Amino acid sequence: MFRAAGNLSKSMMKTQRRCLNLQEFQSKEILKKHGCSVQKFVVVSNRKEAEEKWMSFGDHEYVVKAQILAGGRGKGKFINGTKGIGRVYITKEKIAALEAIDEMIGKRLVTKQTTEEGVRVDKVMFAEGVDIKRETYVAVLMDRETNGPVVVASPDGGMDIEATPIDIQMGMTDGQALKIAKDLQFEGHLLGAAATEIKRLYDLFIAVDATQVEINPLVETAGGRVFCVDAKMSFDDRASYRQKEIFAYETFEEHDPLNGAGLAMPTMDLIKLHGGEPANFLDVGGAVTEDAVFNAVRIITSDPRVKCVLINIFGGIVNCATIANGVVNAVNKIGLKVPMVIRSEGTNVDAAKLIMKKSGFTILTANNLDEAAAKAVSSLPK
C-alpha cells in the first residue's frame, strides 16, 4: 500500500524493468528443447508421482534437488529436517532417493538468500547422476562494450577467463565455437562435441531473447560426454510478447514476506513511471488475515500526508477475498478521506471484486498494475 504524491524530475527515464527468475528444472527444459545435452530428469510434487515417473529410470547414481528460486541452495538446510538431507541429496539407492522426497516436499528450506522462515518446497527434481571428470564454465551474454553478444569461457570455474565477441548479424561461426571449446581445454572427440554444445547455447540465447545464459558447470564426464549440469538464464522483459511460453513460468510466490520486494519494487517503479513519487509501503505477507489488512489500512491512512492509497494484490499465496474483506471493514470503521485504488489478481479474485462492488464505497479498481498506478497518480490533487 502506497502514498503517491508529487512529480518526478523530467530527466528521469521512464523505463520499467522486471526480473524473470526460473527454477533449475525450467532452465533444463529450455535447454533440452533447444537440443542441448542435459542428464535425464523428472519433476514431481509427491512420492507417488516420483514412483510413476521413475519407472523408466535404470540403475544410476541419483540426484534429488529441491526446487526453489532462492540462491545458495547447495548449502541450504530444511527446518526440522532429517540429518543428511539438504537441498541436494545424492545416492545410488533408488529407494533412498524416493524416501528423500518425503523429507523435502512440504518442508521449508533456509538458504543464505531466504529469511529465517525459509521457503516452502513444492517441487523436487530427480536427475540421473553425472560422473563428472572435469568442470568448466561458459556463458553467453549481452555486452555493453561490444554492443552485442559475447561468450565468456573459463576452463576452471572462473580462472583464466576468455571472452569472444559474436557478430549478431553473422551469428557464431564453427571456427569461433571450436576456439571456445579449445579455451575450455576440451580435446580429441570431445572438442567437436563441446563446440556443438556451445553453438547450440548461442542459438538458444538468440532464439529466446535472453540477456544471459550461464552454464555452471559445463562438464566433461568420465564416459567421454559433455553435459550442461546447471543453468541460469535472464531474459529481455520487452520480448515477453514473443516469449509467452517462457514468461508463463513467472511466479511471484517466493517474494520476501518481510520486505515485500516481490510486489513492492515493480509497484513503486510503475508509480514513478506515471509521474508519481511513492513514499512508503506495507507488505502484509502470504499468511495475512482480515485483521492484519484492517490494521495495515489504519496505519497507512493515519498519516495526514497521505494523498492516495494503492493496494496491489497478487493472490498466489494470499486469498484476494481476504484482502477485500479487510479493506471494506477498515473503510467502514475508519472512513476514507483520500482516493483508494485496488488492483487484484489470483486466488478468488472474482469474489474479491464482488465484495468491493457490494460495499458501496468509492474504491477505484484496476485490471492490471499499470492501470492501477496510472489511476493512483491521476487521482492526486492538482
CA distance linking residue 203 with residue 21, whole number of Å: 20
- Residue 215: beta bridge partners? 138, 231
Using alpha carbons, select from 321, 330, 315 the residue that is nearest to residue 285.
Answer: 315
Helix (H/G/I), strand (E/B), else coil: 345: strand
Catalytic residue (one of 62, 137, 202, 254):
137
Q: Do residues 87 and 65 touch, judged by C-beta distance below 8 A?
A: yes
Distant-in-sequence, close-in-space partners of 360: CB < 8 Å, separation ≥ 6: none
Catalytic residue (one of 24, 103, 197, 214):
214
137 is catalytic: yes
Q: What share of the chain is helix, strand, coil (3-state, %, to 5)?
A: 35, 25, 40
CA distance linking residue 1 with residue 268, whole number of Å: 10
- Tell me the one-letter amino acid at 265: M
CA distance linking residue 259 with residue 11, whole number of Å: 29
Q: Which three cell numbers stand for residue 292?
A: 492484519
Q: Which three cell numbers stand for residue 184?
A: 575450455
| Catalytic site positions | 137, 214
